[in-house]
Amino acid sequence: MTDRIVLAYSGGLDTSVAIGWIAEATGAEVIAVAVDVGQGGESLETVRQRALDCGAVEAYVADARDEFAEQYCMPTLRANGLYMDAYPLVSAISRPVISKHLVAAAQQFGATTVAHGCTGKGNDQVRFEVSIQTLGPDLKCIAPVRDLALTRDKAIDYATAHDLPIETTKKNPFSIDQNVWGRAVETGFLEDIWNGPTKDVYEYTDDPTFGPAPDVVTITFDQGVPVALDGETVTALQAIEQLNRRAGAQGVGRIDIVEDRLVGIKSREIYEAPGAMAMIAAHRELENITLEREQARFKKTVDQRWTELVYDGQWFSPLKANLDAFIHETQKYVSGDIRLELHGGRATVLGRRSETSLYDFNLATYDTGDTFDQSSARGFIDIYGLSAKTASQREERLHGKPDLSGAGVQK
């Protein structure tokens, strides 16, 4: 029986050429797998037919938009997932869901190998292959660009020579990856980190300099997940899509970062994630009023480690599953409404309310009705500062009193 290779197929030039390129290099039959995670563009049927026209023996297509939104974007939101405090894991969280469908297709069609279109310099090769090996330990992985010397120039020449039904052009200088959670842009003139991004870099967001009037939206959360916008019930996918439009129109979610890649190099990336950044801002604020202080402090550490694991391609790892369990438990009371103003490239919190809030007006107020027992403060301070005071007394006993005459003066 002829070997079969499953190929992660986008419908673009490189993966269309990869179908024939892989077949010629390996002698195997190629099964194209296209997964819709909200990247827009052509229909799955159009993509499926192109794969067959380019030589695939089978074409597996999956509308994974709701799956992606509910099972990948929402956990990222609950973890406030921002790598290097800026990047909302746009590409990192799409790779595991695509890998899941690649493995399912390999099992369905009897393939022994999975192929993807990543280079040897990026993070995505790791994300795909670690996920695939975790979900399908018997599967092998290859990358035509990395392992079979498929360059873009060769892809254009191959597509022309074989009259493939795909546009061949060298005009677009950027490498772009997008889904419903956001859009990632790199390469071209952006590789010079002194260059600022030009208008043609952006697609999900409008220029915030000349934006429309402020847009105020109320996001309702239930256990850390948005369930309504301005009182209208929404699914996870609908929440992201609607906030992409509304926050994007206000220029919210533009990110320009020099990023530390897993492979050890720094890379300049431009991201657009209007809905994601608006929701993370709202979710963080709701946690501020619903999480207990020590719980909130520790969750920041967990969130950071969770984000690093996901960025590094460990979505299906045991540690990530353990952290998922902790984060899930913290979201028990993260329910309520956050009112955001979207304007001028910013998502600004205007109001918060929650039936599970830990904010007590009578404890917080300085006016009549204050229920805080201020007489307790003195004893608390004495005990709280006792260890530092004791250490200071030891210093004085052994070394004398410190010279405070020049305190705060720099020479």
Domain C-terminal end among 104, 138, 172: 172
Question: In this structure, are 210 and 285 located in the same domain?
Answer: yes
Residue 325: the pLDDT is: 98
Calculate mean pLDDT across residues 176-201.
93
> Is 405 assigned a catalytic role?
no
To the question of whether residue 354 is assigned a binding role by annotation, the answer is no
Mean per-residue pLDDT over the chain, rounded: 94
> Is 14 assigned a catalytic role?
yes
**Residue 399 tokens, joined:** 């070394």
Question: In this structure, are 278 and 256 located in the same domain?
Answer: yes
pLDDT tier, 370 (very low <50, low <70, confident <90, very high otherwise): confident
Catalytic residue among 4, 50, 65, 124: 124
- The 10s digit of each residue's pLDDT in 109-143 is 999 999 998 888 889 999 999 999 999 999 999 99
Residue 400 lies in a domain: no
Question: In this structure, are 344 and 231 located in the same domain?
Answer: yes
Cα 4 from Cα 87, distance rounded (Å): 36
Calculate mean pLDDT across residues 82-87.
97
Domain count, the chain: 3
Question: In this structure, are 247 and 124 located in the same domain?
Answer: no
**Rounded to whole angstroms, what are the CA distances from 131 to 70, 135, 188, 306, 395?**
19, 6, 29, 16, 56
Question: In this structure, are 243 and 376 located in the same domain?
Answer: no
Range of the domain at 317: 176-353
Calculate mean pLDDT across residues 86-114.
97
Long-range interactions of 208-214: CB distance < 8 A, separation 24+: 208/250, 208/251, 208/252, 208/254, 208/344, 208/345, 208/346, 209/251, 211/249, 211/250, 211/251, 211/343, 211/344, 211/345, 212/249, 212/250, 213/343, 214/250, 214/341, 214/342, 214/343
151: domain CATH number? 3.40.50.620
Residue 365 burial (CB count, 10 A): 12
Helices 13-26 and 44-53, axial angle in degrees (round to 10):
40
Catalytic residue among 53, 63, 146, 175: 175
- The 10s digit of each residue's pLDDT in 288-343 is 999 999 999 999 999 999 999 999 999 999 999 999 999 999 999 999 999 999 99
Residue 407 lies in a domain: no
> Is 382 assigned a catalytic role?
no
Report strand pairing: 232-233 vs 266-272.
unpaired
Residue 401 lies in a domain: no
> Is 124 assigned a catalytic role?
yes
Residue 125 lies in a domain: yes
Q: What is the largest CA-CA distance in the chain?
A: 89
pLDDT for 368 beyond 90: no
Cα 37 from Cα 94, distance rounded (Å): 7
Domain C-terminal end among 320, 353, 386: 353
Cα 290 from Cα 281, distance rounded (Å): 15
Percent of the chain with pLDDT over 70: 97
Nearest C-alpha neighbor of 184 from the set 171, 202, 209, 208: 202
Question: In this structure, are 146 and 123 located in the same domain?
Answer: yes
Question: In this structure, are 168 and 181 located in the same domain?
Answer: no
- The 10s digit of each residue's pLDDT in 196-235 is 999 999 999 999 998 899 999 999 999 999 999 999 999 9
Report strand pairing: 225-229 vs 232-233.
antiparallel
Cα 305 from Cα 319, distance rounded (Å): 10
Question: In this structure, are 157 and 284 located in the same domain?
Answer: no
Question: In this structure, are 188 and 96 located in the same domain?
Answer: no
To the question of whether residue 200 is assigned a binding role by annotation, the answer is no
Residue 346 lies in a domain: yes
Residue 408: the pLDDT is: 63
Nearest C-alpha neighbor of 187 from the set 119, 126, 130: 119
Cα 167 from Cα 84, distance rounded (Å): 36
Tell me the pTM.
Answer: 0.93
CA angle 285, 291, 294 (to 5 degrees): 120
pLDDT tier, 363 (very low <50, low <70, confident <90, very high otherwise): confident
Domain C-terminal end among 111, 142, 172: 172
Nearest C-alpha neighbor of 81 from the set 308, 407, 376: 308
To the question of whether residue 123 is assigned a binding role by annotation, the answer is yes
pLDDT tier, 166 (very low <50, low <70, confident <90, very high otherwise): confident
Question: In this structure, are 36 and 126 located in the same domain?
Answer: yes
Residue 22 lies in a domain: yes
Identify the weakest region by mean pLDDT among 168-177, 212-221, 336-345, 385-394.
Answer: 168-177
Residue 406 lies in a domain: no
Calculate mean pLDDT across residues 369-392.
93
300: domain CATH number? 3.90.1260.10
Residue 251: the pLDDT is: 97
To the question of whether residue 259 is assigned a binding role by annotation, the answer is yes
376: domain CATH number? 1.20.5.470
Residue 405 lies in a domain: no
Catalytic residue among 14, 36, 303, 337: 14
Question: In this structure, are 44 and 20 located in the same domain?
Answer: yes
Catalytic residue among 65, 95, 268, 346: 95
Question: In this structure, are 124 and 215 located in the same domain?
Answer: no
To the question of whether residue 382 is assigned a binding role by annotation, the answer is no
Percent of the chain with pLDDT over 90: 80
Q: Which residue has the higher pLDDT, 58 or 150?
A: 58
Identify the weakest region by mean pLDDT among 15-19, 186-190, 239-243, 311-315.
Answer: 186-190
pLDDT for 93 beyond 60: yes
To the question of whether residue 117 is assigned a binding role by annotation, the answer is yes
